[in-house]
């Protein structure tokens, strides 16, 4: 019997988060309920494996709503969109389904509230990232974007006593902390979100990779170059002393990297089968035993949009058990259209408002972080 020379630590939690799971389910289910093609504005999540698999099923990805034929179904990605995009979809007569992660929606709602109350909003994030562009669109005249503490030093605001900050959900926890400290020094009265905007999945994956970097000289982060949270995992691992590599697939792993104990983690949009292929590749390159390195349990689930669930129920399309109550509620909701039916079943008399494309903020069920 050969004794394994080194350990391959598999970080947990890793890979898909609840927002990504939900976004992929929405496209999958929409294809079954409404039939192909289904249009998706922007990559549904930043991962080519996911995008290619959905494309093969009949999803068409585009960054421009002008490419979408009138009356077609369009899905907004997990990163969220600005109100301008929603208005454009409505003006083109598109049937819009919203796969925006509820934790991104939370940040949009904060922006709206601060703008309504007359605050200047400092949005911490990467100005070219699609999530930041969507959030910025909620209150463009009241929002400034900062990417670094140096940007904060250069900021001049008309009324420094009425300032609030919000942030992109997938940034480095440590980088944001430094920027927030700079903001608090410069604007002592600054308002901050009641609960941090960096999401649980980003935080948990960064916490796990920090610990892993203490054990391994080499960290492989499986994720797309366009994925913000995967790139942040690489930075965090490097800041904690590991040699960190971003890889999209098993074939990207180079033989010369694999030395001593190795850690593997994955960004929130990376499918588990791609991670497992990377594990197999490392084991093919060296004598490794695999050990899970789990920091925390994640049991988070976001319900699917009520309208889609009602359609799935009407068509007999299966959906995960966790969505059953949301489906029952949606079916009873006045104004929810079901495929093939003039109107949805009604709970009472009167037409009532149309069901929003996504569950309202009050409905988020975060079971456990
Ligand atoms: S990374 Fe966070 S904000 Fe982004 S989809 Fe996942 S849970 Fe939502």
- Do 213 and 285 lie in a common domain? yes
Site residues for ligand 1, CB cut-off 6 Å: 17-20, 78, 101, 103-104, 169-170, 199, 201-202, 229, 268
Q: Is residue 96 part of a domain?
A: yes
Mean pLDDT, all residues of the chain: 88
List residues forming the annotated binding site for [4Fe-4S] cluster: 17, 101, 199
User: At which of 122, 157, 186 does a domain end?
Assistant: 186
Q: Which residues pair with 368 in a beta bridge?
A: 299
First to last CA, the chain: 41
Res. 34 pLDDT band, cuts 50 70 90 = very high
214 phi and psi angles, rounded to 5 deg? -75, -25
User: Quick one: DSSP state of residue 17?
Assistant: -
Q: What six digits make up the tokens of 312? A: 């799935």
Q: At what angle do helices 200-215 and 228-239 cross, to 10 degrees?
A: 30
Considering the domain architecture, whether residues 45 and 92 belong to the same structural domain is answered as: yes
Question: Would you say residue 353 lies in a domain?
Answer: yes
Determine the pLDDT at residue 323: 64
Contact 282, 262 (CB under 8 A): yes
Is residue 347 within 8 Å of residue 310, measured between CB atoms?
no
Phi, psi for residue 144 in degrees, rounded to 5: -125, 145
* CA distance linking residue 254 with residue 258, whole number of Å: 7
Tell me how far the alpha carbon of residue 288 lies from the centroid of ligand 1, in angstroms.
Answer: 32
* pLDDT tens figures, 245-299: 999 999 999 999 999 999 999 999 999 999 999 999 999 999 999 999 998 989 8
Is 158 one of the annotated active-site residues of the chain? no
Whether omega for the bond prior to residue 269 falls within 30 degrees of 0, making it cis, is no
Listed residue (29, 92, 45, 47) closest to 312, CA to CA: 29
Residue nearest to atom 2 of ligand 1 (CA): 199
Q: Do 206 and 279 share a domain, yes or no?
A: yes
Q: Which of 202, 204, 227, 298 to mutate to test the pocket of ligand 1 (most atoms within 8 A of CB)?
A: 202
Same domain, 208 and 273: yes
Confidence label for 121 from pLDDT (cuts 50, 70 and 90) = very high
Q: Higher pLDDT residue, 348 or 329?
A: 329
> What is the pLDDT confidence band of residue 4, given thresholds at 50, 70 and 90?
confident
- Would you place residue 318 in the very low, low, confident or very high pLDDT band (cuts 50, 70, 90)? confident
Mean pLDDT of 52-76: 97
Cβ–Cβ under 8 Å, residues 76 and 30: no
Write down the H helix ranges in 138-191.
Answer: 149-153, 173-186
Domain-located, residue 93: yes
214 and 270 part of one domain: yes
Is 10 inside a domain boundary? yes
Long-range own/partner contacts, residues 311-315 (CB < 8 A, 24 or more apart): 311/33, 311/34, 311/337, 311/338, 311/339, 312/29, 312/32, 312/33, 313/338, 314/338, 314/339, 314/340, 314/341, 315/32, 315/33, 315/339, 315/340
261 & 280 share domain = yes
Looking up residue 323, the CATH number of its domain turns out to be 3.40.50.11270
Shortest CA distance to 320 belongs to which of 302, 332, 333? Answer: 302
44/62 same-domain check? yes
The atom number, within ligand 1, closest to the CA of 102 reads 8
Spatial contact of 242 and 217, defined as CB atoms under 8 Å apart:
yes
153 lies in which domain range? 103-186
State the distance from the centre of ligand 1 to the C-alpha of 203, rounded, in angstroms.
10
> Does any domain span residue 194?
no
Last residue of a domain, one of 267, 294, 321: 294
Which atom of ligand 1 is nearest to 22's Cα?
5
- Other beta carbons within 10 angstroms of residue 314's beta carbon come to 18
Residue 307 located in a structural domain? yes
Show which of 186, 208, 238 is a domain's final residue. Answer: 186
**What are the pLDDT digits (tens) for 77-98?**
999 999 999 999 999 999 999 9
- Residue listed under structure tokens 């992109």: 168
Sign of CA dihedral 94, 97, 101, 104: positive
Whole-angstrom distance, CA of residue 106 vs CA of residue 185: 26
How many domains, in total, are found in the chain?
A: 3
Helix or strand (DSSP H, E) at 207: helix 200-215
Domain containing residue 157: CATH number: 3.40.1010.20
Q: Which residues pair with 165 in a beta bridge?
A: 122
Q: How many CB atoms lie within 10 A of CB 57?
A: 13
Do residues 172 and 207 both lie within one domain? no
Instruction: Please tell me whether residues 317 and 359 are part of one structural domain.
Output: yes
Q: Is residue 160 part of a domain?
A: yes
CA 99 to mean position of chain CA atoms: 9
The band of 168, judged by pLDDT with boundaries at 50, 70 and 90, is: very high
Q: Which residues contact 190 (CB under 8 A, 6 or more apart)?
A: 122, 163, 164, 165, 183, 184
Q: How far is the CA of 353 from the centre of ligand 1 (A)?
A: 29
Catalytic residue among 88, 131, 248, 359: 131
- Alpha-carbon gap, residue 304 to 289, rounded angstroms: 39
Q: Is residue 195 part of a domain?
A: no
């Amino acid at each position: 019997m050969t004794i394994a020379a080194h350990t391959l630590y598999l970080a947990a939690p890793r890979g898909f988060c609840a927002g990504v799971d939900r976004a992929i389910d929405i496209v999958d289910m929409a294809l079954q309920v409404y039939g192909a093609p289904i249009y998706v504005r922007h990559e549904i999540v930043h991962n080519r494996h996911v995008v290619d698999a959905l494309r093969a099923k009949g999803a068409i990805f585009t960054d421009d709503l002008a490419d979408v034929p009138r009356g077609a179904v369009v899905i907004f990605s997990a990163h969220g969109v600005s109100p301008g995009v929603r208005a454009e979809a409505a003006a083109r007569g598109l049937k819009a389904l919203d796969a925006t992660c509820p934790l991104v929606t939370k940040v949009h709602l904060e922006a709206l509230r601060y703008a309504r109350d007359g605050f200047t909003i400092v949005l911490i994030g990467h100005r070219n990232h699609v999530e930041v562009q969507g959030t910025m669109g909620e209150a463009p005249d009241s929002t400034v974007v900062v990417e670094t503490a140096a940007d904060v030093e250069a900021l001049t605001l008309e009324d420094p006593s009425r300032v609030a900050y919000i942030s992109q959900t997938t940034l480095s926890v440590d980088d944001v902390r430094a920027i927030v400290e700079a903001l608090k020094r410069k604007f002592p009265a600054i308002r901050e979100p009641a609960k941090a905007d960096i999401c649980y999945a980003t935080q948990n994956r960064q916490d796990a990779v920090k610990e892993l970097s203490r054990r391994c000289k080499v960290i492989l982060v499986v994720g797309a170059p366009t994925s913000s949270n995967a790139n942040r995992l690489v930075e965090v691992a490097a800041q904690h002393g590991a040699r960190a590599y971003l890889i999209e697939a098993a074939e990207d792993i180079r033989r010369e990297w694999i030395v001593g104990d190795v850690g593997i983690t994955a960004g929130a949009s990376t499918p588990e089968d791609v991670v497992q292929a990377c594990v197999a590749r490392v084991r093919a390159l060296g004598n490794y035993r695999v050990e899970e390195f789990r920091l925390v349990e994640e049991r988070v689930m976001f319900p699917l949009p009520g309208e889609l669930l009602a359609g799935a129920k009407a068509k007999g399309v299966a959906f995960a058990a966790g969505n059953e109550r949301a489906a029952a509620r949606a079916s009873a909701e006045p104004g929810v259209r079901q495929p093939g039916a003039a109107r949805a079943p009604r709970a009472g008399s009167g037409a009532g408002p149309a069901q929003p494309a996504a569950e309202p903020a009050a409905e988020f069920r975060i079971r456990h972080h």
